Amino acid sequence: MQLLRKLAYPFSLLYALVVYVRNICYDKGWFRSQSFLTPVVCIGNLSVGGTGKTPMTEWLIRRLSDSYKIAVLSRGYKRQSKGFRLVKPGDSAIDSGDEPLQIAQKFPEITVAVDADRASGIQELEQNYLPELIILDDGFQHRKVVPKYAILLTAYGKLYANDWYLPTGNLRDHRKQATRADVIVVTKCPPDLGEAEQSHIIALLKPRRGQMVLFSCLKYETTLGGQDRVLDLEELTNRPFTLVTGIADPAPMVDFLRGMKLDFDHLSFTDHHNFSKADIAKLKNRDLILTTEKDYMRLKGELEQVYYLEVSHKFLGSDASRLLKSLKKL
């Protein structure tokens, strides 16, 4: 795999040139960008997946829903439906996408929609659903929309400053585009990340003047969700199970479960994997399956003994308060 990426280096230079020219066209106004009356908070990254955008969306919903009537707009990656679609808790992941469905089921009181054309989707929300705040999930590269506030995520150990462009690396946008963000959040940090290393990371990221760099770690719940009942994570002690993941970076979850001294084998699929009938048939032979929350959106109803492990962001130190204070500018 590494050899193939090295061989693809000339293509990564071409890709970098294309995204560079595209950004210039937006910066010069040759391509049209649009602002909206409704405040838009954009969450995104410069790389392909694995930074925790959906948990960050949920973090914002929990902390802002008392102050705003919130709508969430996503692309709905790998859904089979087209155009604008309002996501309902009873939808299927095939029609709505796994992550939007996860949000709709967890927060039925808010509006969740999908549209590949984010500008068109925001217009639809403004005209027909009247939100007071729109959270744009994975919209940092969607430059047709000018957000009121932009949160850029980068994963600890996989910082965009140390990465290269597709297909040699994982960057899908130029590193300099980080200056468009109001705040940079380094996710998936060790909970005990010290100030010296935080300062080192900030030096690597080279934020513009006044741009905050915050740090968060992943927090896993100790109760497992399921269709008919819930399990305490400790109930899996001395009970072998299969971990099934279809996410960009399963390593943190694997490390967490191994740290719990649990006995499991791991079946890893590509991000947003659509489980085939053959996949489901093989999984039915497993006694107990643990999966991610978004994978559960595609596996529930297909398997009996399947549970999910919920994950959320936990900011280090006073960084949560710093972010909420900054968001008051909305």
Q: Which of 48, 60, 3 is nearest to 158 (CA)?
A: 48
Average pLDDT over residues 223-243: 90
Average pLDDT over residues 301-308: 92
pLDDT for position 262: 96
54 labeled part of a ligand binding site: yes
276 labeled part of a ligand binding site: no
In degrees, to the nearest 5, what angle opens at C-alpha 147 toward C-alphas 144 and 152? 105
pLDDT tens per residue across span 178-211: 999 999 999 999 999 999 999 999 999 999 999 9
242 labeled part of a ligand binding site: no
Q: Which of 234, 235, 213, 232 is nearest to 223 (CA)?
A: 232
Average pLDDT over residues 25-36: 95
pLDDT for position 288: 94
- 215 falls in which pLDDT band (50, 70, 90)? very high
Q: What are the strands of the beta sheet with 133-137, ordered from one edge?
A: 85-86, 111-114, 70-74, 133-137, 40-45, 149-155, 183-187, 212-220, 311-315
pLDDT for position 9: 86
DSSP secondary structure of 39-86: -EEEEEESBSS-S-HHHHHHHHHHHHTTTS-EEEEE--TT-S--S-EE
- Compute how many other C-beta atoms are within 10 angstroms of the C-beta atom of residue 265: 10
Q: Domains of the chain (ranges plus CATH)? A: 2-218+315-327 (3.40.50.300), 222-309 (3.40.50)
Residue 226 pLDDT > 70? yes
47 labeled part of a ligand binding site: yes
- Alpha-carbon distance 70 to 112, whole Å? 9
Q: Which of 155, 158, 117, 118 is nearest to 134 (CA)?
A: 118
49 labeled part of a ligand binding site: yes
- Alpha-carbon distance 257 to 244, whole Å? 13
Tokens representing residue 51 in the block: 């930074």
Q: Is the dihedral of CA 131, 137, 142, 147 positive or negative?
A: positive
- Backbone φ and ψ for 246, nearest 5 degrees, come out as -130, 55
Residue 1 pLDDT > 60? no
pLDDT tens per residue across span 49-89: 789 999 999 999 999 999 999 999 999 988 999 999 999 99
DSSP state of 190: -
Q: How do the residues of the chain divide into helix, strand and coil, expressed in percent and rounded to 5?
A: 35, 25, 40
pLDDT for position 328: 84
53 labeled part of a ligand binding site: yes
Helical residues (DSSP H) of the chain, grouped into ranges: 2-7, 9-27, 53-64, 93-96, 98-106, 118-128, 195-205, 251-259, 277-283, 293-299, 319-327
Residue pair 34/145 in contact (Cβ under 8 Å)? The answer is yes
Respond yes or no on whether the N-terminal peptide bond of residue 240 is cis (omega within 30° of 0): no
Q: For the chain, what percent of residues have pLDDT higher than 70?
A: 98
83 labeled part of a ligand binding site: no
In degrees, to the nearest 5, what angle opens at C-alpha 260 toward C-alphas 60 and 290? 65
- Alpha-carbon distance 81 to 78, whole Å? 9
Tokens representing residue 173 in the block: 């946008």
179 labeled part of a ligand binding site: no
Q: Which of 132, 106, 173 is nearest to 330 (CA)?
A: 132
pTM score of the predicted model: 0.94
- Look at the block and give the residue holding tokens 């994950």: 311
